[in-house]
Amino acid sequence: MMLLVLCPIILEELVYALEKGGPCSAEHLRKRNFVDALKRQLHAQVLGKQHSAGGTESAAVVTFVKICKAATYINNKDSNNVLFVMVQSVIVLHQIYEYTSVLRWLREILILRNAFLLHHKDNAYLGSNIPMAKHAHTKLEIVFFIYLWSIDPEAVKIAMSCFALFAYEADIRFGFDEAAVLTILPNYNIYMELSTASTTLVTTGRNALQKKILSLLRRIEYATPGNKQAWYDTFVSQQHLAKFLAVYPKRVDDLGSAGSTASSPSVSASETSGFVGGGYAKFGKRRAGVHSSEHDIEDVFHEWANMTGFLCALGSVWLPIKNRPGQHGIPADTRRTSMEPVSSDLHYCPVTQFVGDCLKYLVCQNEKFGVQIQRHIQDLLGHELNPLCYPILFDQIKIQVDKFFDANGQVICSEQNTQFIDNVIVIMRSVFEMKAQQAAQNSLEGPTTTTGSSNTLVVPGNNTGSSASVVGGSSSDPNSSSAAGSGRGGPQQVNENPLANVIILEQLVLNIVRYARHLDTSVGAVTIRIRVCQLVESMMKRRDDLSFRQEIKFRNKLVEYLTDWIMGNSHQFNQVHALGQSAAGVGVGSGVNVTTSQLVVDQYQHLTRELDQASMEAVASLLHSLPLQPEESDRGDLMEAKSQLFLKYFTLFMNLLNDCGDDLNDDQSSLSEHHQANNERGTSNLISQTQQQQQQQQQQQSQLINQLQQKQQSLRNSTIVAMSNLLAANIESGLMRSIALGYHRDPQTRAAFMEVLTQILQQGTEFDTLAETVLADRFERLVELVTMIGDKGELPIAMALANVVSPQYMDELARVFVTIFDAKHLLHQLLLNMFAKEVEMADCYQTILRGNGLPTKIMSFCFKLYGSHYLYNLFAPILAKMFIADLRSYEVDPSRIEQHEQLDENRKNLRLLTHDVFQAIGESASQFPLQLRILCSCLYQVVQQRFPQHPLQAGFSKQNNPVFYYIARRFKVNEMNCDLLIYHVLLTLKPFQAKPFELVVDFTHTCTDNRFKTDYLSKWFICMPDCFYYNLQACYIYNCNSWVREYTKYHDRILSTIKGSRKLIFLDHISRLNDFIEFDQQKLPGHTLSLEEDLKVFNNALKLSHKDTKVAIKVGPQAIQVTSSEKTKVLGQSVLLNDVYYASEIEEVCLVDDNQFTLTIANETGPLSFIHND
């Protein structure tokens, strides 16, 4: 292994010299002597410690240190080979006891490696794209991920801290090019947070540490070869440990051959064995049961638990969606890696196998670990599983639950099946409640901030005498490094609603309920039914996040099932009561305590009331806005069947309300009698009883009464809510059935009904729905409301809807608007209002209808609805002639024409075809649809009113040249198409290409989100005609900032043609623009101009970084501006830089002392530090 760190040429020479006694060149003699000495020292280490327990391990550690030293003999271009071998050593050394120390040494080596790259940062990017460099990077990532589930907290924290070294290396190598950094390190932000958590987590507990790690792993958004391979290798190890624990202590020796576990084809067998957890490896050396301590077994279990949590949290990296290029463009080669198992294809996902295996262990019956395994699987699948894996989880649960029904749909009840149902109910409920739990946890923990100081790694100075360098400190120079801050690329986007992809929920829940309905009358069965009701209630709380195929039918079926459990246990209770009485009779004759059977009965009665409470809460949530849907399909009897169904439920609920009152009285009476009986028994046994004991008994009795009253009141409230929801959603069929209860002779019944009626009135339920034409009347009134026209021709309701409807519903809203307004002969009014709003918001006529708003959707739908027939009649004859009767060719691309074709002839054919098309369009004016004529007329009217003089009236300079404006912050690289922007600019400038014009560029708050990618920046210079550059008289650049400076430096070669141009005029202050453009002709955005209002300026401040800078700090109502006091070069000109930070971006202001303070800015690489005397 030692020789592998050397380059192949040197390796060949040294092997020949060492093994064959051949000659060695003078330049490699030192290397030969070093390797020879290393071999002797290693041999001595082994001989000296061969009788000790740690001899082999210690020798391996010494070897590793020598390997690290060997790196000093190797050229920089071979450093990746060295790193690869060292990392592979750490993977294998995971089986030794000192692996934590070895991992710590690896971190120190990586720190020194980054320091070396920083010292040579101008050439640091060299060699980063070679295969060995990528392979070494992947191996590092695998190691750090695998050590996250170690049972040694120190090793875990070391691995966490190493993730920052990834980020620092990427920043050093690629400096300013954020796209390149995110390409090789797409999970940059999470890695920095992992590193920060290793130093900021104020706890040494293993569970708390793992919880924090799993919460961060769930946020990893992008799949990489490293994290995918780490997941898969951990999966292999977890399978071994799970099988070992499941059979312990039996058949331990069969573990190595038990089952089949897939191995990654790109990893050798020896390497795969090295991936197995440290705890299992240590135990494996002495796994004959009698020689193993209980402590070792517990370590194996804890490591299995850590592995399982790791696999749950990181499982999303193996999902197909993670293999697609993300927001920041993951390279295509990460979509399929050579490390994937050979059996993987589009239909296979190892996460599916993992989740399925975990579910099988929910019924693990191991005597020692069975219960612990079940509880851990419950907790991990319910709380730590990556939300993107929820569809797989629910699919696998359904596969298992479906096995509990035979071919005829009959339930197969067994103790193991019941245990599985009970456990998955807990898991599913946890998943449904995760959103609320995470919100509560976030509110308790507060926002997580990552500061640069927490991840600062000090690197000793080199032998040239330079001062110590800080790797990871904040710096304005991106080539130095980038601290944590909020990371690169902004917050990572995670799917907010993964449950929407679960499409089998209805059948799964119904099968679980059906299984619970067939359970016996035991206490455990009632408990499961209570949990089923709680599951349904949790599901309904997430109703807006779930996807239902037949929601009304599904909810009606659940109401039918769950209402059977409400007061439906009387016969079961009577059976238990009879059994209790029988037991009591036997007990009297056998000397058994009489109260034992009564306790059984009381416990069961208490559970049935809890079941009533849980059922009512679930039914109340199901009945909210639920129209009843009887099973009968006969339309003639539908209303009667719906009415009968309403009466069934309403009567049940009324009986339950009455029962609540009776139970409360009975409980109070029985409690008093029970207390009196106890007093009598106490009197017979004790002659006297102290007053203190009597007071304690009275207090206990009062507490019991209060508890019973609270439970009964809670049940009563749930019943009232259910009745209100039932009546409110079915007022047309239920009111006449229930109105008689308002005149019931029982006062309690009358009071309950009036309470229900009051509540539905408070909910806003209207009684107009009782009419026979209610459906048509409803829609007619709604249409009248939407099409209502104001005094000035405005459409208040329609325009309000246009402003509040979310983008995903815009297409549907456009379709509805066009349909109903055209039916009311008000399409003209709709178009005028919509186009007027669009034109009002436009800066110039070229931007009209360029967005994706409602006016654009309406216009598109109109053309599709009214113009399709017109287009068919217009172009059908021409196309038929081209493809059927006409044999002429219209190809004008020289590279694609046939040999027998003539290019000039084809061009002539194309011109004739174009003439025919335009002639047909002109002759079809009379056939143009009326609705589209209205549309064009409305658009012309509003544009003419907004731009009456000229199609572009944005202002003129003092030289009477038209002035164009480019607002850089409005371009979003991830949201806008740069090709369309270039096309738009070409169209806008086309009328002025032969005339002089001027340009104003506003760089206020411009950042990486507003950049042009390198290829598009080059395209600007290629696409723009030379006449544009010639006629551009001046380009005024305002608010040039630090980001713009670094961007121009990075693209210096592309921008070299304009570097130093006299046409570039940098404006240090907005007032300088008055020298070139009159104030009333200036069209800069109001947001830019407002930054100069109400400012308080602090001059002679000092911005602290790797190079302290004198600045002026301007504090305004909207933002803080940091303006450099010394000019710097940008595009060959001396410029004052002005960095703008909006108030909404400032996350924290920290006062260090009287003169120094720091600002933590969102999306900045680290906090900004300033010193000022004031």
The pLDDT value recorded for residue 251 is: 55
Q: What is the DSSP string of 157-220?
A: HHHHHHHHHHHHHHHHHHTT-HHHHHHH-TTHHHHHHHHHHHHH-----HHHHHHHHHHHHTT-
Indicate if the pLDDT at residue 776 is higher than 50.
yes
Least confident of 435-444, 480-489, 543-552, 1012-1021: 480-489
Buried b (16+ CB within 10 A) or exposed e, 25-36: eeebeebbebbe
Q: From CA 1044, how far away is CA 452, in angstroms rounded?
A: 23
Sign of the CA dihedral running 768, 769, 770, 774? positive
Reported as a single tens digit per residue, the pLDDT across 7-53 is 545 656 666 676 667 777 777 777 777 777 766 665 665 455 444 44
Across the chain, what does the average pLDDT equal? 77
Q: What is the DSSP string of 892-952?
A: --TTTS-TT--HHHHHHHHHHHHHHHHHHHHHTGGGS-HHHHHHHHHHHHHHHHHSSS-S-
Q: From CA 219, how far away is CA 130, in angstroms rounded?
A: 30
The pLDDT value recorded for residue 597 is: 58
The pLDDT value recorded for residue 220 is: 92
What is the pLDDT confidence band of residue 1036, given thresholds at 50, 70 and 90?
very high
Strands 1146-1151 and 1156-1161: antiparallel
Question: What region does 547 belong to: left with phi over 0, alpha with psi -120 to 50, or beta?
Answer: beta
More confident residue, 1118 or 255: 1118
Indicate if the pLDDT at residue 1060 is higher than 80.
yes
Q: Are 957 and 922 in contact (CB under 8 A)?
A: no
Indicate if the pLDDT at residue 461 is higher than 60.
no
Buried b (16+ CB within 10 A) or exposed e, 1046-1083: bbbbbbeeebeeeeeeeebbbbeeeeebeebbeeeebe
Indicate if the pLDDT at residue 242 is higher than 90.
yes
What is the pLDDT confidence band of residue 588, given thresholds at 50, 70 and 90?
very low
Q: Are 1124 and 1111 in contact (CB under 8 A)?
A: yes
Indicate if the pLDDT at residue 362 is higher than 90.
yes
Q: Which CATH number fits domain 777-944: 2.60.40, 2.40.128, 3.10.350, 1.10.506?
A: 1.10.506
Q: 3-class SS at 1159?
A: strand
The pLDDT value recorded for residue 308 is: 97
Q: Which residues have a Cβ under 8 Å from the Cβ of 325 and sit 6 or more positions away?
A: 331, 332, 335
Tell me what the mean pLDDT of segment 575-604 comes to.
49
For the record, the structure tokens of 963 come out as: 């002035």
Indicate if the pLDDT at residue 75 is higher than 50.
no
Beta bridge partners of 1142: 1119
The pLDDT value recorded for residue 667 is: 57
For the record, the structure tokens of 904 come out as: 């000039």
Buried b (16+ CB within 10 A) or exposed e, 431-457: bbbbbeeeeeeeeeeeeebbbbbbbbb
The pLDDT value recorded for residue 680 is: 55
The pLDDT value recorded for residue 525 is: 93
More confident residue, 311 or 875: 311
Tell me what the mean pLDDT of segment 725-738 comes to.
80
Reported as a single tens digit per residue, the pLDDT across 630-681 is 875 444 567 788 888 988 998 898 888 888 766 656 555 655 555 555 555 5
| % of residues, the chain, pLDDT over 90 | 28
Q: Are 1064 and 1076 in contact (CB under 8 A)?
A: no
Indicate if the pLDDT at residue 950 is higher than 70.
no
Q: Are 303 and 151 in contact (CB under 8 A)?
A: yes
Tell me what the mean pLDDT of segment 1018-1022 comes to.
87
The pLDDT value recorded for residue 62 is: 52
Q: What is the DSSP letter of 956?
A: B
Reported as a single tens digit per residue, the pLDDT across 271-321 is 333 333 443 344 333 333 334 467 788 899 999 999 999 999 999 999 875
Tell me what the mean pLDDT of segment 164-169 comes to.
89
Tell me what the mean pLDDT of segment 357-369 comes to.
93
Tell me what the mean pLDDT of segment 896-916 comes to.
88
The pLDDT value recorded for residue 74 is: 44
Beta strands (DSSP E) in 745-790 are: none
The pLDDT value recorded for residue 1150 is: 86
Tell me what the mean pLDDT of segment 1099-1120 comes to.
86
Indicate if the pLDDT at residue 512 is higher than 90.
yes
For the record, the structure tokens of 932 come out as: 């589209």
The pLDDT value recorded for residue 880 is: 84
Reported as a single tens digit per residue, the pLDDT across 669-713 is 655 555 555 555 555 554 445 677 777 777 777 777 777 778 888
Fold topology of 963-968+998-1013+1030-1171: PH-domain like (2.30.29)
What is the pLDDT confidence band of residue 954, given thresholds at 50, 70 and 90?
low
Reported as a single tens digit per residue, the pLDDT across 541-585 is 999 899 888 899 999 999 999 999 987 644 444 444 444 444 444
The pLDDT value recorded for residue 732 is: 76
More confident residue, 256 or 250: 250
Question: Where are the alpha helices (H) located in 774-845, listed in sequence order?
Answer: 774-786, 796-804, 810-823, 827-841
Read off the pTM. Answer: 0.58
Tell me what the mean pLDDT of segment 753-773 comes to.
64
The pLDDT value recorded for residue 63 is: 53
Q: From CA 849, how far away is CA 857, in angstroms rounded?
A: 9
